[in-house]
Amino acid sequence: MTSYQAFYGRLPPLILAYPEGLSPVHEVDQTLLHHDELLHQLKTNLEISMNRMKQQADSKRRDIQFAVGDQVLLKLRPYRQQTVFKRAHQKLSSRYYGPYPILEKIGAVAYRLQLPPTARIHPVFHVSLLKPYNGTPAVTPLDLPPLADNGVITLEPQQILDTRWIKRGDTFMEESLVHWKHLPHEKATWESTDTICHQFPHLMLEDKHPLHGVGNGKPRRSCRTPRPNSRYMD
């Protein structure tokens, strides 16, 4: 099925080449000849564009093959890895998870991986999403984070490591260094404390562990909603 048929729901019209001198009217004859020249030029430009796109894609394509049992890292960025709220630096999030062993080669460019039982994702991936793992197999693998039904990775905070105050314009705002579940400590990120409290009201900021073993001298905060005291209520 061509793109024309998919868009319009019918086959494209058949355009025959116009032989010169077929029409007795000179103006009609020249118009149809010019129309044929335009069609020929369009076909030539499309072929040039397709060849250029193919060359650019082939220049970045990796000719890599894996065998059953190989350990590979899995790239999850195409599944829109993100937290439950927008972050300013999405590119700083983890790109690869694993390693995971290859169970089966499917076709020429697809592989089936042995994912954890808790993984909610199809285990067959294109070779472009895989990366050879050359580390020690005994190292604890980076577990797959939980995925929603639409394939979006949702991360939850595990611990507040530290807090700080930064200046944004003319105001000061508090940020918390968040250690996310299923991610190593070095992947901790600074997030707005107000946003963390709004998204995760169960999180206790007073249980944070300051970095380098020293406190910051600031009052500790809690994300719990305060309850009214019945003694002061009418």
pLDDT by residue for the chain (234 residues), tens only, comes to 888 889 999 988 887 888 888 888 888 888 989 999 999 999 999 999 999 999 988 887 777 889 999 999 888 754 444 433 344 445 445 567 878 999 999 988 899 999 888 777 788 998 888 989 887 654 445 556 666 555 556 677 888 888 888 888 888 888 888 887 767 777 788 888 888 887 777 776 554 544 443 344 444 455 555 556 566 555
Q: How far is CA 176 from the centre of its chain?
A: 24
Q: pLDDT, tens digit, for every residue of 36-56?
A: 999 999 999 999 999 999 998
Q: How far apart are CA 177 and CA 156, in angstroms?
A: 13
Instruction: Note if the pTM is more than 0.85.
Output: no
In the numeric block, which tokens belong to residue 173? 């705002």
In the numeric block, which tokens belong to residue 227? 């309850």
**Contact (CB, 8 A) for 208 and 222:** no
Within 10 angstroms of residue 223's Cβ, the number of other Cβ atoms is 19
* C-alpha torsion angle, residues 52, 54, 55, 61 (rounded to 10): 150
Q: How far apart are CA 44 and CA 40, in angstroms?
A: 6
Residue 103 phi/psi, 5° resolution? -95, -35
- 186: which DSSP letter? G
**Contact (CB, 8 A) for 157 and 142:** no
3 state SS of 41: helix
Q: pLDDT, tens digit, for every residue of 133-173?
A: 887 654 445 556 666 555 556 677 888 888 888 888 888 88
Within 10 angstroms of residue 77's Cβ, the number of other Cβ atoms is 14
CA distances from 18 to 8, 26, 179 (A): 26, 14, 71
3 state SS of 78: helix
